[in-house]
Structures are given as structure tokens and as C-alpha cells.
Amino acid sequence: MEAKANGPSVNEGRVMDGPTNPMVTPLLTDLYQFTMAYAYWKAGKHNDRAVFDLYFRKNPFGGEFTVFAGLEECIKLIANFKLTEEEISFICETLPGSCEEGFVKYLRNIDCSDVEVYAISEGTVVFPKVPLLRVEGPVAVVQLLETPVLNLVNFASLVATNAARHRLVAGKSKMLLEFGLRRAQGPDGAISASKYCYIGGFDATSYSDNAYGSSLFFTNVDSLSKLMFVLLVSVLCCVLASNVAAGRLFGIPLRGTHSHAFVSSFMSPDEILERSLHRSDGSSTCEDFVSLVQSWLSKIQWAKALGNTVGETNQSELAAFTSYALAFPNNFLALVDTYDVMRSGVPNFCAVALALNDLGYKSVGIRLDSGDLAYLSGEARKIFQIIEKEFGLPGFGKTSITASNDLNEETLDALNKQGHEVDCYGIGTYLVTCYAQAALGCVFKLVEINNQPRIKLSEDVSKVSIPCKKRCYRLYGREGYSLVDIMTGENEPCPKVVPITLAVGERILCRHPFNESKRAYVVPQRVEELLKCYWPGKSGKVREELPALKDIRDHCIKQLEQMRPDHIRRLNPTPYKVSVSAKLYDFIHFLWLNEAPVGELQ
């Protein structure tokens, strides 16, 4: 299944699709946004040109990096921002006091045609205080965008970051499956989590292969509203332990197996009525696949190389595996811990897998969902390797082993330290609920109005905003790693790259925004401007295209590779430097002194 593009290019000349969730409308906001819009309009200030920055103040999960996500949904909201008559009527009924007809007319004409959005590319590794989005436009309109864009960015970035952290612990070679639909916070939380886990480095969203039956449901899905589609498919997926909806909406790869219920639903092989199976190449048919499986189980039980460790196995489990293999001979992956992993599950899997091999099929592997995962995966690997050697089956020793069962960062780290043979992890609850941290805490602050810089002060220095319209750059060093992010005033010159051939280059003074003693000179070998125009409004500027989801994922993985290892390590990471230019530093503190009231002692 191919990943889908997230939006049309600027030259395609067609309207961009709306947000994935149709509940994301101009009404997905706080009431005070509309009361402020009315007050702006009443004061004649509603068309004042404002600039807002969306940023966060602290990295999540005790780490020192964050992955930015949610941009596509923000742009789709802005591209389709329009109030219906019903929505306007509800707003007027809800506002305190009477609502003048002039304001009603104003609401009818509101859209984002005069709004400009500059943003960091989705999937980029980002840091506190640096604007993820800069939104410019009429103050009343931009104010109405505050709550929905915060909603769209906060959870998305938190989940993508959580996924990236799990990927870093698991390592590049392991497959990661998102198992979280049934534990997510509602249908939208599940759909969003699948999308942003994929951006953060997960390989697929996992599902039960029984979900293939849902293809009948998809046949007429276009006749349903988008909302009913998302909700109904999500409910269906909960029953099947799947997230087929996310796969269909975003083109995310789907993987999975059956549940314990499937295994325990069988009583004996006698229940299997249709026993025939065609060879993979269609050249012939095995009329009694069940008997073929039983013969292979006998060979395994008598194999000297296994030292008579395989005794009687659970026949109802064997029946379930056999039946499943008959349904999906090309995708046989068995859940082996319903009764006993080593005494029953693994031998039964091997018997079915070897029978499939006789007919030209290759089994996928097993899934462990309980017990000592490090020990069980190691023992299962030994049996696979013995069978490969005993029966001359090249590659069988490398049969895939998937582990699940409430895994998280700590579990993956512990497995790495113990030593294990797990090839693939299925991670659910701790991933999609972001169990270790409830929210990212992005904020949306006014930094300029009618070309006049504004600052938000606080006794808590971390909450002081950085005023004015800014440009943001990432400076890279000689080893290819990023060294520092620097914010400058809009009209300051771009930092210059210094060729390696020059012994001495131009040094850039990078200053901590609020601590005068923290400063350093940087001589960059590469400079990357972070903020790009994703919605030009009436400015006539060229709009950046929204890339395909897979491209965003690839960008995220590349970004993590460009970070110094000590910045992204799990324990005691080194804080990444975020700075301002010397000129912007001076201006921040000048404005701070001007805006702060002066006390008087008596």
C-alpha cells in the first residue's frame, strides 16, 4: 500500500481537502476566541495585522528533543476555514449580550485568504522556544485559529516524539508495530496516533488478519460521510484489534495476526471442514493439509536433535494454527502463548510452518504476548535453528519473532541489556496514550501587531515570550551534526557558511535569550533556514508543497541521524542550544525594561 500525498501542490489549481477529522471546524475553539473577535470588531481593531508564534517551552518525556508533527492538518484547516450559517447562528446565540448585525456580516466573510503561515517542515526535530509555526494576518481571524492549531500540533508532536524515542531504543534493525487502537483515547486519538507513530519511525499499524473481511465494508464507504467513516471503521477495528481506518486514510502499511480468542475458539482438528490447500504456484493441491501438519508434528516430536523435549501439544491450538494457515498461507504468523509457549505453541507453529513449506509457502513467524520475552525468544530461536539444520530448511532459523505485552521504552532497554532474539515489537498503550507525559504544552503568543513588537512578561522567566517577527536557522558543524538553533530579527542578514578550506571564518555570536552569561561563537559549515511558507495568503509567495507521509517519516529519521548522539540519548541527554542573535538579545531586554512596570519603595 503506497503512502498518500498530504496535499496538492500550489500549481494544481484545486481546493485542498479538509482536515482528516470533520469535527475540526472553526467551532473547535474556546468561547473566548469569539468573544475577543467580537471585541476586536467592536473596537475597529479586527483587521490589525498580527503575528503569532506557536512554540513549546520544554521537551517531553525527560528528553532533550521533540519531533514536530501536525502541520498538514493545520494547513487543511486554514485552507477550508469558513463558517456556515448554522455555525454563525450558534455563535451569536452563545455570545454574552446581543450580537450586532454588522458582526454577523463580518463572520459570514471570514476566511484565511489574508493569512500567511510559515512553519518548520513536518517531521523535523525541534526544540523549545523556536517557533514551529508563525501565523500572520488580521488579528481577529488569527485569534480564531489559536485553539484548533494548538489542538492539532500538541498531540501529534507528542506522539511522534514518543514513537521516535521508542525507535531509538529499539534500534534501526527492528520492526516496530503500533498496537494501540483499542487503548487510545477515542477514535480520533487512535487515528492520529497511528499516523504520527508512523512519522516517528514505526513501520506499520498492526491488525488482525481477520480484518481482511472488512473489505466488504469499504466497498460502499464513499456513500458515507467522512465522519461516519472514521467512527464506524474505528469501531469495527476495535473489534478486530486493528487500525484499518488509518491504513486506508493515510496509506500506512498494515501488519498483524490473530488473537487468543481465535486460538481458544477451536476444540480439535476435527472442526476443520475444508482441508485442501493449493500449492503456492498452483501446480497441484494437497487434499488433506491437516494430516500433513500432523505428520510434521510427529517428525518434530521424534527429532533426536531436539532431545525429546517436544511432547504432546495442545491439539485445539494446533487446529487453530492449521485453520489460520489454510485461510492465510502467505501470511501465517501465530500467537503462541495461549497455553504454553515452549511445550505447545512453538512446536505447533513449526509443524504448520513446515507443512506450508512443503507446498511452497514461507511462514512469517510467531508472536509472544506474555512471559519472559528475553528467555522465550532465545529458546524459540534455538528450536528454529535446530529444525533448520535437522530438516535442511535454509532460513528457517531466522523465522521472525514478534513481542508484545505492554511494552515501553524501559522494557525495550531492559531486553537489550538482557539479550534477546526479538525481531519485531508491537507497542500499544504506552505509545499511543503517551503514558509518560500527558501533554506537550505548546503555546500561541502574540509577538507583533501592526509592525510593533510585543512581549509577554512573567515572573517565571521560562514563560517570557521572544518578541517580533523572526527568522530561524539551524547551524551545522564540521562533523555534520547540528550545533545550535538561532533566532534573528526578520531583517537581519542570514548567517554565512564558512568553507572548510578557510582557516578563519566569520564567527556568529549565539546568545541565550535570557541568561547573559550563556553565549558562544559558532562558525557554521552549513546553514538551514527552518521557517518556510506553507500558506501564502495574498502575499504571492510560492507555497511549500506538503509531502507524502512516507517522505515526512524519512525526513524524521534523517533528522535524528543528524543529531549528536548525546542530545538524543535516553539517559542524561545533553541539552541542545537554542539561541538568539546579539541584536535580537539586546532588543528583547530593551523591550523587557520598557514594558515592565517600575516599582516604588516608600
Which residues does residue 175 pair with via DSSP β-bridges, in sequence order?
Answer: 424
Tell me: pLDDT of 232 over 50: no
3-state secondary structure 344-386: HHHHHHHHHHHHHHHCCCCCCEEEECCCCHHHHHHHHHHHHHH
* Residue at 156 is within a domain: yes
**Is residue 271 domain-shared with residue 375, that is, in the same domain?**
yes
Cell numbers at 519, concatenated: 553565549
Lowest mean pLDDT among 172-186, 334-348, 467-481: 172-186
* Residue at 175 is within a domain: no
* Residue at 241 is within a domain: no
* Residue at 421 is within a domain: no
Provide the number of structural domains found in the chain. 2
Tell me: pLDDT of 515 over 70: yes
Q: What is the β-pairing status of strands 365-368 and 400-403?
A: parallel
> Could you give the percent of the chain with pLDDT greater than 70?
90
Where does a domain end: 355, 384, 401?
Answer: 401
**Is residue 383 domain-shared with residue 452, that is, in the same domain?**
no
* Residue at 489 is within a domain: yes
Nearest to 400 by CA among 340, 355, 343, 349: 349
Residue 480 structural domain: 31-162+437-595
- Mind listing the pLDDT tens digit for each residue in 102-143? 999 999 999 999 999 999 999 999 999 999 999 999 999 999
Q: What pLDDT is attached to residue 218?
A: 33
- Other Cβ atoms less than 10 A from the Cβ of 565: the count is 12
- Mind listing the pLDDT tens digit for each residue in 429-480? 999 999 999 999 999 999 999 999 999 999 899 899 999 999 999 999 989 9
Order of strands, sheet of 254-255, starting from the edge strand that comes earlier in the sequence: 254-255, 204-206, 175-178, 424-427, 400-403, 365-368, 333-335
**Is residue 567 domain-shared with residue 480, that is, in the same domain?**
yes
* Residue at 193 is within a domain: no
Tell me: pLDDT of 236 over 80: no
Assign residue 68 the CATH number of its domain.
3.20.140.10
**Is residue 150 domain-shared with residue 60, that is, in the same domain?**
yes
Cell numbers at 306, concatenated: 531436539
**Is residue 513 domain-shared with residue 380, that is, in the same domain?**
no
Q: What pLDDT is attached to residue 227?
A: 41
* Residue at 249 is within a domain: no
Alpha carbon distance 299, 286 (integer Å): 19
**Is residue 129 domain-shared with residue 58, that is, in the same domain?**
yes
Mean pLDDT of 292-308: 90
Mean pLDDT of 154-167: 97
Beta strands in 114-234 (DSSP E): 116-119, 125-126, 133-138, 175-178, 204-206
CA quadruple 42, 35, 155, 187: dihedral sign: negative
What single DSSP character describes residue 435? T
**Is residue 70 domain-shared with residue 137, that is, in the same domain?**
yes
Where does a domain end: 401, 428, 457?
Answer: 401
Mean pLDDT of 293-316: 90
Angle at 124 between CA 120 and CA 125, to 5 degrees: 120
Which residues does residue 474 pair with via DSSP β-bridges, in sequence order?
Answer: 485, 528
Where does a domain end: 357, 383, 401?
Answer: 401
**Is residue 451 domain-shared with residue 586, that is, in the same domain?**
yes
More confident of the two residues 341 and 502 = 341
* Residue at 216 is within a domain: no
Mean pLDDT of 26-30: 96
Assign residue 381 the CATH number of its domain.
3.20.20
* pLDDT band at 251; cut points 50, 70, 90: confident
Q: What pLDDT is attached to residue 153?
A: 98
Alpha carbon distance 271, 120 (integer Å): 58
- Do residues 422 and 174 make contact, with C-beta atoms less than 8 angstroms apart? yes
**Is residue 390 domain-shared with residue 448, that is, in the same domain?**
no
**Is residue 140 domain-shared with residue 64, that is, in the same domain?**
yes
- Residue found under cell 456580516: 105
**Is residue 379 domain-shared with residue 309, that is, in the same domain?**
yes
**Is residue 442 domain-shared with residue 570, that is, in the same domain?**
yes
